[in-house]
Amino acid sequence: MVKTVFSIGLSTGENLVIKKNRLEGEGFLGKGKRVAIVSGIHGDELEGQYVCYEMIRRLKANPEYLEGTIDVYPALNPIGLTVADRMIPKLEKDLNRMFPGNRQGGTFDRAAAAVIQDLEGADLCIDVHASSRFVKEIPQVRICEEFAKKLIPYAKHMNVDMVWTNATETVHESTLAHSMNVKGVPTLVVEMGLGMRINRNYGRQVVDGIFNLLSEMGIWKEKPRNIQFPVLSTDGEVEFIRAECSGMFIPAIEHSHFVKKGDKIGEIIVPIEGRVEKEIIAGKDGLVFTLREYPMVSEGALLARILTDIRTKKTKEAE
């Protein structure tokens, strides 16, 4: 059942309307666990739209498997999604820097507060994002170090390639995920793909993971097959590779590629002079989980991230 979470008229004559689709198992109305799936905070991140669609489609196809409640919020920033703008149009504000909101504040502060209020009491929240339009990401769950002990048991069932634990001081306190975790609702942030695009393979991978997690929580009676377990990471095990000069970046490897120290990741070229300005070399062994897609770069631009020490981690986990 589609319900309105928040609605208000805007000075432009438009209406800001945030909706959710609530799906409840037969005989479980108001009973059982509740999981919320949220997306569309940033209007240029479209991967979550496919995830929400596929979740609702599968839930409707097999309602007899659902033993609880699933709330799906595809578009928390519907105006941004309409114009594919990361920010709130005209205001140029990031909605994911406005939580937990303020019910007596401005329009979007009130919208953020209404979303938080609606999410409270959920047993789990999954916040689905995409990367920017500049770099491509493999499916991953990002969690704050402060809440890692509570969140990793959920994240490991999400069928993603990695779980990246970020240091607490690098996490903005005004994000939806941080606000919900502070309120006691376990909240995972999923990131994948590329801004302004939809990768259906990634979307299906994440949807399979969500259903796997629902099965583990006792909400979904069917267990998905071929579920993978992620590599767990921390900030100290991720190597950031940035451009040392301006030019056009031409990758020499594929995304989600394993490299060894000394391998060539790509090069920065100067087209008008027909020369290579800089070769980009891996400083460590590992998995390239972030790779730049947009060729034009300036000095300091992110080119790649490498998840290192994978062999050591797998050995320790096996022990």
**Domains in the chain, start-ordered, CATH in brackets?**
2-229 (3.40.630.10), 236-318 (2.40.50.100)
Per the CB < 8 A criterion, the answer to whether 43 and 86 are in contact is yes
pLDDT (tens place) for every residue of the chain, 319 residues total:
999 999 999 987 889 999 999 999 988 877 899 999 999 999 999 999 999 999 999 999 999 999 999 999 999 999 999 999 999 998 899 999 999 999 999 999 999 999 999 999 999 999 999 999 999 999 999 999 999 999 999 999 999 999 999 888 889 999 999 999 999 999 999 999 999 999 999 999 999 999 999 999 999 999 999 999 999 887 668 999 999 999 999 999 999 989 999 999 999 999 999 999 999 999 999 999 999 999 999 999 999 999 987 654 443 343 3
Could you tell me whether strands 257-259 and 275-281 are parallel, antiparallel, or unpaired per DSSP bridges? unpaired
| Residue ranges in the chain assigned as alpha helix (H) | 47-61, 78-83, 107-119, 148-155, 176-182, 200-216, 310-318
Per the CB < 8 A criterion, the answer to whether 163 and 141 are in contact is yes
pTM of the model: 0.94
What's the burial of 17, exposed, middle or buried (CB within 10 Å: 0-12/13-18/19+)? middle
Tokens 């390639």 correspond to 161
